[in-house]
Amino acid sequence: MRILKSGLIVLVFSIHFPLFSEEKSDFDHVRKAVVQIKVYSQAFSTFTPWATDGVRASSGTGFLIGNKRILTNAHVISNAKYVQVQRYNQTEWYRVKILHVAHDCDLAVLEAEDPEFYKDSTELSLGEIPELNSSLIVVGYPIGGNKVSVTRGIVSRKEQSKYEHSSVDSHLVLQVDAAINPGNSGGPAIQNNKVVGVAFQVATKGENIGYLIPTKVIRHFLKDIEDGRYDGYVELGIGTFNSFNTSLRKAKGIPEGLEGVFVTRILPNGSADGYLKEGDYLTEIDGLAIGRNGTITLDKDARVDFTETVDDKYSGEPIRFKVFRNGKLIDVEFKAKRMPDFDFMRNRYDTPFDYSMIGGLLFQEMTRDLLGAWSRSGNTSGGSQFLYRYDYFIEDGIGRTKKADVVLYRKLAHPVNSSSDYFLNLVLESVNGEAINSLADLKRIIGESKSKFLKLKFLNIDLPLILDREETQKADSQIRSTYGLE
């Protein structure tokens, strides 16, 4: 599955059910609310953190939802330097300001700076989740033209799926049988004159499969920002295993006919940490029965993963389970909360990447962005250690005591670092005996050090890297000039 930075459009050619009344005014109302978005963006470079990528032009779609707000996808305006908007029948482009961005659910709210933009505009209201096999239209500005476009589609599935913009978060999506074209990301899907979803990504396998963000997720985002800031989704923080195996159920003493799932792990600092236990058998969440495959009934059309119930909550709201533990059914209740530990696993936008250089050796905290840049660099030899730690940083409890792994991911060649290749792609454990639990630790220790030598100890490597502190400082000045870091 992938998102298209220029946007998406949902197409289907065989459906002809009416979605509006035949009166022209119905569609006039919609197109006066739909917005074409033009974006000039410039991303920060992960592998070369002192530089930025080139300026890129792209386009997308949004729509007015009241109070001068324009709703669109976060990926449409990520890393934006300049954003303009225009509505149907307008000839001027208007600059906007970005009010709120939610990268974990790929939504954003904008506002035009000039009141003239809103002249003779309308706004769209949110509807409910549409039924399977029901028809809808998607309105927007696909690439290749500057006129509003209308296409038709059918809702073919409701499920939880990964949102590619963050590459980590999963929320409810609506699948439509659709051909996808760039340019329509952020465009509204309309049914019965109301918005039922926002076009945002496309399946890379299969044909005519597109996805919409449903209004359930949109409402969660809009409620979150009511206080003027976006806090983000809470996380249950557990791993589970289905209970299809009859022998396993008997071995665990699960009563016949009692459906549910087994808890296999508890992630540190998650909502369930300290309340649920490994081996627990979850049978209900908030009064909803959990099936042997870990699903609950969303509506008459679909069953979704039981964690969808947690997705509806905000920080501090209660999560209630009925749990079979030690031969008894018990009630367990705790409050929902965010997991900051997850933040480093998301794709990152709009902010530069911090780094430290010691004698031409480049260090960063391991993030998803660095991992991607590192894999594309081709110099990946010996990186299995931090790959493992990245995948299990939270699950193995490393995150309880460490903010992040700091890795030596690259060197800028200079005589002072000529013998350091052995240590590339390793996790830095300590410098001069002081533990490195974040990049800030490394910067502080190097900045305060008065020692003749710097002793860099790497994880699971007995032999340290020894550098002359004064020589590395002199070399860094030359390296910055030679490689254009200044």
Q: In the chain, what are the domains? A: 27-118 (2.40.10.10), 134-225 (2.40.10.10), 238-337 (2.30.42.10), 356-483 (3.20.190.20)
Amino acid (1-letter code) at residue 154: I
pLDDT one-digit tens code per residue, 430-463: 999 999 999 999 999 999 999 999 999 999 999 9
Evaluate the CA torsion angle 15, 19, 21, 23 in order and state its sign. Answer: negative
Determine the distance from the C-alpha atom of residue 177 to the mean position of all C-alpha atoms in its chain, rounded to a whole number. Answer: 24
Q: Which of 35-49, 315-329, 349-363, 393-407 has the lowest mean pLDDT?
A: 393-407
Predicted confidence at residue 210, as pLDDT, reads: 86
Residue 13 has pLDDT above 80, yes or no: no
pLDDT of residue 321: 98
Q: Is the pLDDT of residue 80 over 60?
A: yes
Q: Are strands 107-112 and 69-72 parallel, antiparallel or unpaired?
A: antiparallel
Residue in the structure block whose two tokens are 């976006």 = 230
- Cα separation, 289 vs 324, in Å, equals 13
Q: What local confidence, expressed as pLDDT, does residue 126 receive? A: 98
Look at residue 213 and tell me whether its pLDDT is greater than 60: yes
Q: Residue 189: its pLDDT value, please?
A: 94
Q: What's the Cα-to-Cα distance from 433 to each of 159, 405, 409, 482, rounded to whole Å? A: 50, 16, 21, 32
What is the pLDDT confidence band of residue 351, given thresholds at 50, 70 and 90? Answer: very high
Neighbours of 187 (CB within 10 A): 37
Mean pLDDT, to the nearest integer, of 311-327? 97
Q: Which amino acid is at 442?
A: L
Q: State whether residue 150 is helix, strand or coil.
A: strand
Question: In 275-385, which ranges are E strands?
Answer: 281-285, 288-289, 295-299, 302-305, 318-325, 328-335, 356-358, 361-365
Q: What is the pLDDT of residues 262-307, one digit of tens each?
A: 999 999 889 999 999 999 999 999 999 999 999 999 877 789 999 9
CB 199 within 8 A of CB 140: yes
**Is the model more confident about 299 or about 78?**
78
**pLDDT at 206 > cutoff 90:** no
Question: So what's the pLDDT on residue 397?
Answer: 64
State residue 21's pLDDT score: 44
Closest residue by Cα to residue 241 from 267, 258, 264? 264
Q: Rounded to an integer, what is the distance from CA 12 to the centroid of its chain? A: 28
pLDDT tens digits, one per residue of 18-33: 444 444 458 899 999 9
Cα separation, 184 vs 220, in Å, equals 22
Report pLDDT for 25: 55
Rounded distance between C-alpha atoms, residue 229 and residue 251, angstroms = 49
The per-residue pLDDT of the chain, averaged, comes to 90
Residues annotated as catalytic (active site), given as ranges: 75, 185
> Residue 179 pLDDT > 80, yes or no?
no
H runs (alpha helix) in 167-265: 215-224, 246-251
Of the candidates 228, 156, 148, the one whose C-alpha atom is nearest the C-alpha of residue 12 is 156
**pTM (2 decimals)?**
0.90
pLDDT, mean of residues 420-434: 95
Mean local confidence (pLDDT), 45-72: 95
Q: Give yes or no for residue 8 having a pLDDT over 50.
A: no
Q: Which of 454, 458, 472 is nearest to 406 (CA)?
A: 458
Predicted confidence (pLDDT) per residue in 354-410, tens digit:
999 999 999 999 999 998 888 888 877 778 888 888 887 776 666 667 788 999 999
| pLDDT of 190 | 94
Q: How far apart are CA 1 and CA 202, in angstroms?
A: 6
Does the pLDDT value for residue 181 go beyond 80?
no
- Interval 390-400: pLDDT, tens: 887 776 666 66
Beta bridge partners of 152: 137
